[in-house]
Chain A
Amino acid sequence: MIYDLNEIKDNPFEEKIFDICIIGGGVAGITLAMYLKTEFNILLVEGGGLEFSEESQEIYKGKNSGHEYHELDTARARWLGGTSNWWGGYSAPLSSYDFKKKDFVKYSGWPIDKMDLDPYEKESRSIVDLPDKRQSINYEGWSDILVKSDEIFNGFEFKWSYPPTNFKDKYKSELINQSNITCYVNANLTDMTLLDDLSSIKNIEIKNYKGAVFNTNAQIYILATGGIENARLLLNFNKQCKNGIGNDNGLVGRFFSEHPHFVIGDFIMDDHVSKIFSSKEPEKDHEFRINFLVPSEKFQKNDKVLNFGLRVETNLNPYSHRHTQSFKEKLKDAICSTDWSENTINKLRGMKMYCKIDGKLRIAAEQAQNPKSRVTIGSEVDRFGLKRTILNWQLQKIDKTTFKKASINLAKLFAKQNLGRVRIDDWVVSDDTEFPGFPQELGGNHHMCTTRMGASSSEGVVDRNQKVFGIDNLYIAGSSVFATTGHVNPTFPIIQMTLRLADHINTRDTTV
C-alpha cells in the first residue's frame, strides 16, 4: 500500500520491525522493492510525494564551489519515481574495459567486472521497456563511411524506450497491491542511529513536512536516494561517528563524477558526403543525423584516454541550401571563421556574416576519478535541520587530454578519408586545464561515485556487494556506488547493479 506520511498521526511503525527498509523511491529503490523476495516485509520510504512539490524539491538546494554546474535542485527529481520522472530513456551497459584497472588512470578499476552484471542485462532491458528491434542513433551510411575498419573509433548504439519508462507509473499498482510492501511518501530520512558498538544501524528517524517525527526499525537498510544525496545524508549522520556513517576513511562524498558534456568543434563535409545528407530524408524515430562514436580499447590503452561518446551531428538536410556550395567553397568560407575575422568583416559590411559549417562535434565522456572532486556539507541547513550540499566538481588534465585526442583523431579521420574537415575549439587544444562553463551543456546531471565501490575500505565506501564497509546491515544502491563512470547514461547500469544487489540480499541471512 502507498500511504502519505503527511496524513499519518499515530506512529505507524511502532513495535514493527521490517525485514528491509529501502530509503528512496527512485529507479534503484523501486527496482529493489520489486525484485526482493516477497517473503520479505519491506518498507519503502520516499522523501517526496506522488507528484512534484516545491517543499520536497528544494531539499536538493546547495552550493556549487567547483567548476560551473547546474543548480543542484534542478539536477534530480525528488518525488516517487525519482529522476525516471524526467530522464531521456537512453540505455546501454558499461563496457568490459570500463571495469578494468588502467595504469594511466589513478583510482581506476572495480572490484567486480562486466560478467558480474551481464546476467542482469536482459531483465534490465525489460524493466526499461527496450524494444527488441534494432534502434540506431547513427545515420545509416554515414556510420559505415566513418568507422569502417577504423582502429581508433568504434560505432556505438544506445537503445531507448519512448516515452522513457517512468518507474512511478510503471510500478505504482504493484506498490499499492503487493502485500509485503509498505510505501510511505513525504517520508524523509533525517537520522540513522547505530548500535553502541557502531556495527549496525539500530533504527532510523523519518519526518514528514508537518513536523511529525517517527522512528522505525528494520533488519537491513538500503540507502537509495541519489548520487549526491546518499553522500550528504551519511555525512550528516555524525552524532556517533564524527565524520558521518561509513566515513572512517574520509571517502564519503569524494570522487564525485559527472559525464562532462561539451561541444568541442564543428566540421564541413566533402561533396560526396554532403550528397548523402542532402538527398535523404531522416526517418523519424529510427535514425538521427548523428553519428555516435566511442574509442576502441586499443586507442584508450595506447593513447591513455578515457572512454567517451563522440557525437558527430550534421545539420545538412534536403531543405538546406548548404549542399549547393562545393567543398572548396565551404573550405574557403570556413577558414576565415575566427572570431576576429568574423567581427572585422561584420563591422566592415555592417551586417552579420555567418561562416557556415555542416555540423557540430559534441562529447560526453568518462571523468577520471578525482578525490578532490567531492560532495561535502556546509553550514546552511534544510527544513529538517540537515546540512545542505556543497558540490566541488573538479575536472583534471586527463579529462581534457581525452577531448583533445578524440577531436584530433576524428579530424585526421575526416581529412584522411576525404570526408570533410574538422575545426577544433581553441580551449580543447590548449595545454591548460581550463574548461568552459555555461552556455555549454557541462554535464548530464549524472551524479556518480560519491560512495564508490572498492575492494577494501581504503578504496571505497561499499564492498563488492554494495554493503557499507564496517556496517553489517547498511547497503547503498544507485550510481553513487559506481567505481568509475564509463560514458553511458547511468540508469541502465544502476538497474543491473540493483538487480544484483537484490539477488545478494535475497540469499543472505537477514538476521543482524
Chain B
Amino acid sequence: MERDISRRKFLSLVGMLTLFFITSISTPKKINDEEEYVFINGWLLKKKDLNDL
C-alpha cells in the first residue's frame, strides 16, 4: 500500500514535469497577428488559457 502511494506520487511528479517541459518548449504561434490566440501542440488556445495550465 505504502509502495503504491509512493509510486503514484512519483508518477504524478513525472507527469507534472513532462507537462511543464512540453508547455515551456512549445513555441506559441500567432495566427494572423491576432494577439488573443496561440497554437500549442495543435490546440488553438486563448492566451489567457495559459494561466490555467
Binding site for B on A (CB under 8 A): 265, 328, 331-332, 334-338, 340-341, 344-345, 348-349, 408, 411-412, 414-415, 421-426, 429
Contact = CB atoms under 8 A, between A and B. Distances in A.
Contacts of B39: 429
A331 B18 contact: no
Interface residues of B, number: 20
Contacts of A344: 18
19 contacts: A265-B42, A332-B53, A335-B22, A335-B23, A335-B40, A335-B41, A335-B53, A338-B42, A341-B18, A341-B41, A345-B18, A408-B31, A408-B44, A411-B44, A412-B37, A415-B46, A422-B43, A422-B44, A423-B43
Given A337-B41, A345-B15, A415-B37, 11 more contacts: A331-B52, A332-B19, A335-B43, A335-B53, A341-B19, A414-B44, A421-B43, A421-B49, A424-B42, A426-B42, A429-B42
Nearest to A328: B52
Most buried by A among B19, B22, B39, B44: B44
Contact of B14 (A332, A348, A411, A424): A348
Residue of A332, A425, A426 ringed by the most chain B CB atoms within 10 A? A332
B41 A415 contact: no
B44 to A, nearest CB: 4
Interface in B1-53: 11, 14-15, 18-19, 22-23, 31, 37, 39-46, 49, 52-53
Given A332-B53, A421-B49, A349 B41 contact: no
A341 B22 contact: yes
A242 B40 CA distance: 57
Contacts of A349: 11
Contacts of A415: 37, 44-46
A349 B8 CA distance: 10
Contacts of B41: 335-338, 341, 423
Contact of A332 (B31, B37, B42, B52): B52
**Which applies to chain B's interface (DSSP): helix, strand, loop or mixed?**
mixed
A460 B51 CA distance: 57
A338 B39 CA distance: 13
Nearest to A348: B14
Nearest to A407: B44
Nearest to A413: B44
B44 A336 contact: no
The 10 lowest CB-CB distance pairs between A and B, nearest first, are A411-B44, A423-B42, A423-B43, A328-B52, A338-B41, A336-B19, A415-B46, A341-B22, A348-B14, A424-B42
Nearest to A418: B46
A411 B42 CA distance: 10
Contacts of B31: 408, 412
A340 B44 CA distance: 19
A424 B19 CA distance: 19
A290 B31 CA distance: 27
Contacts of B43: 334-335, 421-423
Nearest to A424: B42
B37 to A, nearest CB: 6
B19 to A, nearest CB: 5
A423 B44 CA distance: 6
Nearest to B45: A421
A336 B22 contact: yes
A150 B13 CA distance: 43
Contacts of B11: 348-349
Nearest to B43: A423
Given A344-B18, A345-B18, A415-B37, A331 B42 contact: no
Contacts of B14: 345, 348
A432 to B, nearest CB: 16
A479 to B, nearest CB: 35
A338 B23 CA distance: 11
Nearest to B23: A335
B13 to A, nearest CB: 11
Nearest to A333: B19
A282 B44 CA distance: 29
B53 A331 contact: yes
A451 B22 CA distance: 52
Nearest to B42: A423
A332 B31 CA distance: 22
A415 B31 CA distance: 13
Nearest to A336: B19
A4 to B, nearest CB: 57
Contacts of B53: 331-332, 335
